[in-house]
Amino acid sequence: MTAERRPPKTIAPKKNPMKTQEPGKRSRNFNEVALGYSEEAVVAEANRCLQCKNAPCRQGCPVEVDIPAFIKMVAERDFTGAIKKIKEKNSLPAICGRVCPQESQCEKYCTLGKKYEPVAIGRIERYCADRELATGVTPQETMPSTGKKVAIIGSGPAGLTCAADLAKLGHKVTVFEALHVPGGVLMYGIPEFRLPKQVVQTEVNNLKNLGVEILVNNVVGKSTTVDELMSEGGYDAVFIGTGAGLPYFMRIQGENACGVYTANEFLTRTNLMKAYLFPDCDTPIRIGKKVAVLGGGNVAMDSARTALRLGAEESWIVYRRSRNELPARQEEIEHAEEEGVNFAFLTSPTKILHDQDYWVTAMECLRYELGEPDASGRRRPVPISGSEFIMDVDTVVIAIGQGPNPLVPRTTSGLELTQKGNILADPATGATSKPGVYAGGDIVTGAATVILAMGAGRTAAKSINAYLQGNGGD
Amino acid sequence: MYRILKKETLAPTIKLFEIEAPLVAKKAAAGQFIILRIHDEGERIPLTIADFDRKRGTITCVFQEVGKTTKQLGTLNQGDTIKDFVGPLGLPTHIENYGRVLCVGGGVGVAPVHPIARALKQAGNEVIGVIGARSGELLFWEDKMRQACSELRVTTDDGSYVRKGFVTDVLREIIEEENKDPALCVAIGPLPMMRAVCNLTREYNLKTIVSLNSIMVDGTGMCGCCRVTVNGETRFACVDGPEFDGHLVDFDEMTRRSAIYKSPEKQALELFNAGINHKCSCGGE
């Protein structure tokens, strides 16, 4: 093992702890939960890194950040060098340091993790990014103008990454955003307490400083279409990164009762529209005493934790598998538990009950047990017949996933789709069936992670650049 | 920012804005809607498009001051700007030559029914318009509707103008008249009115299109707030609508869902009204 060839050094078996807001307090406010490392802590954590020559951590990173290199710089307190190194590969490190599922990516492959806790790569990344944001970002260099125009549809992680890369290469980039602020899921989906919106807007401003134009209130598929952008708009290429903007339902009775939210609505009202500041902000939200969130992913954790912050007395995750199968990021599960979110595992509703005014009163649920592994490799939940029981709740949030929003796919000619309505794109290039049109992120893969979307945005940017240099439309 | 080029008061609580939004005007069609947000702390509200002028690059919206946002909107004047304005959203009205069609507008619903009546007439239909309001002073656009329709009938609930009766009373008379045989009815107005129209036209098996003004957030099919049950299936008013076959709409559910935020809306309105009074009492003239 690489580690054994190095001079012996005493290694702390555990990650340096990161300060968090105290659970009892934070579960009632929307301020950020994880407070980040101090300089001393980040240097100590960087010193835990073994600097393995084969850098196994890098294979776990979808954008292949040179992790040992930036960690070495941090250990030497060269923070400017470290952030520069990160940004060679990752244009949104303040966001990734906060929301990447590191335990299933870089940290999963950390050599140290075989014996101890892995190096807290995400926390170190976050420190470097935050330090740069606090001291002012050095403008990145852009290449001379190529005279080529690229339209980016959607300003989420895929679109922002693609836009940044193409702008740096000298292309004229315009981002089309349907909502009134750029950021996509980073703004409407991920809560303030996990990803402060100021961090997102700072990254968006960095993009504007690269010369990227962002048009908000512009619904491609309605206000204009991809076809029109390419014909009348004079765009030489288009990248579609419109995300997973279509909520899935359980298809059970009572789902349209008052007090049943999709996670998209629940989180959008809270995050984008700031319903937690009502009546200072105009958008309201109704929160009951006992909230049930259906699902076990990050969106479900975000919803359950949001419910507590909005004033719910009890917040429950209702999940049909067991704790081991929860797809959410480890840290979010732990934070949810610390904050007092309850878990009803091996449980799924069959019916939502309501009163005569259509307000939710309870759910009828069924208990499950785990059977053989299914296609996803997780053990399949099997309902236990006759196990019906009533769970009293007055608010239900459906967080069982999202599909592709059809507005752009339906209005673009010559675009091949999958059966589920996702855009078919070559994973190696992002190219779609329509010449000059590329796609990436959740609209291609189905709901996944921020970093995978960024990786797809980066891949597409490379291909678009090659396409524009080759036969860029003239 | 989107500038208000013209403001008109159509009735005591009903206002008209002509708003500069060239990109929206370029694409707008009868039956579609826009979503606006007055300022940074504002909520997103959908308003059906009452008219559009592609040359001037404007959209006309008519709204009734009901809650805080619409009241606040009503305080804006010509030359003021609106922070966000997005559209056109939703599907346009399906326009074809049906023969004879009825276009019913109740209250503020007269505004969105107007461009539909006009488009149907342009497509060669004989358009019989029916407009009504609680009282004469709440009735507007009689002239515009007369122009957009082949024939127009007017009624008021209290009989203070033209005649006494609900739009459904007039509708029944028309349907019962000999040789009228309408092929389609389009009805836009408050939910109870659209529901009553549907109950009536169902008796005559007259296909009826209603336009649902559900509560919305994004308006692009992302949040699902505007969902409505149509023919037993969940549909989104923002992307599948806003128009649906009224005979298939679950009005019970729709009515309940429209009232979800009744109590916070009341609270917001009270605070807003108190704020205005406060300003008056200490600001002086």
Give residue-wise pLDDT tens across range A351-378.
999 999 999 999 999 999 999 988 878 8
- Give the pLDDT band of residue B14 (cuts 50, 70, 90): very high
- Give the pLDDT band of residue B278 (cuts 50, 70, 90): very low
Q: What is the mean pLDDT of residues B223-239?
A: 96
CB neighbourhood size of A201 (10 A):
15
User: Of B256, B223, B271, B215, nearest to B35 (Cα)?
Assistant: B215
CB neighbourhood size of A263 (10 A):
28
- The first and second tokens of residue A112, run together, are 């140290």
Q: How much is the ipTM here?
A: 0.93
Quick one: residue B258, left, alpha or beta (phi over 0 = left, psi -120 to 50 = alpha)? alpha
Interchain contact A280–B (C-beta under 8 A): yes
Question: Residue B268: inside a domain, yes or no?
Answer: no
B155 plus B238 within the same structural domain: yes
Give residue-wise pLDDT tens across range B53-99.
999 999 999 999 999 999 999 999 999 999 999 999 999 999 999 99
Question: Residue B213: inside a domain, yes or no?
Answer: yes
- Give the pLDDT band of residue B277 (cuts 50, 70, 90): low
Contact A405 B265 (CB under 8 A): no
Query: Closest-CA residue in chain B for A263?
Result: B223
Does residue A17 have a cis peptide bond before it, meaning omega lies within 30 degrees of 0? no
User: Of A171, A164, A238, nearest to A204 (Cα)?
Assistant: A164
B134 plus B254 within the same structural domain: yes
Interchain contact A466–B (C-beta under 8 A): no
Q: Does the pLDDT at position A416 exceed 90?
A: yes
Instruction: State the DSSP code for A126.
Output: H
d(CA B252, CA B81) in angstroms, rounded, equals 37
> Which range among A7-11, A82-86, A138-142 has the greatest average pLDDT?
A82-86
B251 plus B143 within the same structural domain: yes
pLDDT > 90 in chain A, percent: 82
pLDDT of residue A230: 96
pLDDT of residue A470: 84
B215 plus B127 within the same structural domain: yes
Q: Does the pLDDT at position A53 exceed 70?
A: yes
Q: Please state the φ and ψ torsions of residue A143, each to the nearest 5 degrees.
A: -80, 165
B133 plus B240 within the same structural domain: yes
B167 plus B209 within the same structural domain: yes
d(CA B102, CA B204) in angstroms, rounded, equals 13
Cβ–Cβ under 8 Å, residues A179 and A474: no
Q: What is the mean pLDDT of residues B110-135?
A: 96
B139 plus B245 within the same structural domain: yes
Distance (Å) from the alpha carbon of A205 to chain B's nearest alpha carbon: 18
Contacting residues of A for B228, CB less than 8 Å apart: 256
Q: Does the pLDDT at position B226 exceed 50?
A: yes
Domain boundary among B41, B69, B89: B89
Number of domains in chain B: 2
Domain boundary among B89, B121, B139: B89
Question: Residue B242: inside a domain, yes or no?
Answer: yes
pLDDT of residue B180: 80
Q: Does the pLDDT at position B183 exceed 60?
A: yes
Task: Supply the DSSP string of chain B, one letter for each residue.
Answer: -EEEEEEEEEETTEEEEEEE-HHHHHH--TT-EEEEE-STTPPPEEEEEEEEETTTTEEEEEEE--SHHHHHHHH--TT-EESEEEEEESPPPP----SEEEEEEEGGGHHHHHHHHHHHHHTT-EEEEEEEESSGGG---HHHHHHHSSEEEEEETTSSSS-BS-HHHHHHHHHHSTT---SEEEEESSHHHHHHHHHHHHHTT--EEEE-----SSSSSSS-TTEEEETTEEEETTTT-SEEEGGGB-HHHHHHHHTTTHHHHHHHHHHHHHHHHHHHHHH--
B72 plus B118 within the same structural domain: no
Q: Please state the φ and ψ torsions of residue B24, each to the nearest 5 degrees.
A: -70, -45
Give residue-wise pLDDT tens across range A98-134.
988 888 899 999 999 999 999 999 999 999 999 998 8
pLDDT of residue B170: 94
CATH number of the domain that B57 lies in? 2.40.30.10
Give residue-wise pLDDT tens across range A314-344.
999 999 999 999 999 888 999 999 999 999 9
- Give the pLDDT band of residue A63 (cuts 50, 70, 90): confident
Give residue-wise pLDDT tens across range A201-247.
988 998 999 999 999 999 999 999 999 999 999 999 999 999 998 99
Q: What is the mean pLDDT of residues B152-158?
A: 95
pLDDT of residue A91: 84
Query: Looking up tokens 């992120």, which residue turns up?
Result: A441
pLDDT of residue A279: 93
Domain boundary among B61, B89, B117: B89
Q: Does the pLDDT at position A472 exceed 50?
A: no
> What are the E-state strand segments in A345-433?
347-354, 360-373, 379-383, 389-392, 395-398, 402-403
B166 plus B106 within the same structural domain: yes
Q: What is the pTM for the complete model shown? A: 0.92
Interchain contact B218–A (C-beta under 8 A): yes
Q: How many CB pairs under 8 A join A and B?
A: 120
Q: Which residue, among A265, A270, A394, would best test binding to B if mutated, counting the most B CBs under 10 Å from its CB?
A: A265
d(CA B261, CA A427) in angstroms, rounded, equals 44
Contact B220 A262 (CB under 8 A): no
pLDDT of residue A400: 96
Interchain contact B174–A (C-beta under 8 A): no
pLDDT of residue A329: 86
CB neighbourhood size of A286 (10 A):
18
Question: Residue B276: inside a domain, yes or no?
Answer: no
CATH number of the domain that B169 lies in? 3.40.50.80
**Domain extent for B151:** 100-258
B105 plus B240 within the same structural domain: yes
Distance (Å) from the alpha carbon of A86 to chain B's nearest alpha carbon: 33
Contact A256 B227 (CB under 8 A): yes
B115 plus B252 within the same structural domain: yes
Interchain contact B257–A (C-beta under 8 A): yes
- Min mean pLDDT across A4-13, A76-85, A199-208, A436-445 is at A4-13
Question: Residue B273: inside a domain, yes or no?
Answer: no
Question: Residue B136: inside a domain, yes or no?
Answer: yes
Cα angle for residues A75, A77, A78 (degrees, 5° grid): 110
Question: Residue B61: inside a domain, yes or no?
Answer: yes
B66 plus B159 within the same structural domain: no
Beta-carbon contacts of residue B224 (< 8 Å; ≥ 6 apart) = A247, A249, A262, A264, A265, B236
pLDDT of residue B276: 67
d(CA B159, CA B157) in angstroms, rounded, equals 6
